[in-house]
Amino acid sequence: MKENCTTSKIGRTISVNAYEKELAQARKYQKTPEFKEVYTKKRPIVERKIAHITRHFKEGEKPEPEDLNECPPMCLQDAE
């Protein structure tokens, strides 16, 4: 069977992330209506802030710490 998976002489190694359990829970939560409702409300705020920060880096500027603090507290909280 090894011959069908890879051409490497030593075979193939699959590693599991130390946070795989948490990632699996997060993926499961992302499929719930509760998550979709929260995400729909927060996404525009977070996307706008990411675009703002990215624009500064593309222009060769370093964002000021005050720029990073403009994000409303709700976009910094974990969706629960």
Question: How do residues 27-72 score in pLDDT, each as one tens digit?
Answer: 999 999 999 998 888 888 888 888 877 776 766 666 566 655 555 5
| pLDDT band, very low/low/confident/very high, at 5 (cuts 50, 70, 90) | confident
pTM as predicted: 0.43
In a domain, 22, yes or no: no
Give start and end residues of each alpha helix (H) in 1-80: 2-5, 20-30, 33-58, 65-68, 73-76
User: Is there a domain that residue 23 lies in?
Assistant: no
Total number of domains constituting the chain: 1
The answer as to whether 9 is a domain residue is no
Q: Is 63 helix (H, G, I), strand (E, B) or coil?
A: coil
Please give the residue that has the higher pLDDT: either 80 or 50. Answer: 50
In a domain, 14, yes or no: no
Q: Has residue 1 got a pLDDT over 70? A: no
Does residue 53 belong to any structural domain of this protein? yes
Domain that holds residue 52: 32-80
Helix pair angle (33-58, 20-30), 10° resolution: 110
The span from the CA of 46 to the CA of 71, in Å, is 8
Contacts by residues 16-24 (CB-CB < 8 Å, ≥ 24 positions apart): none
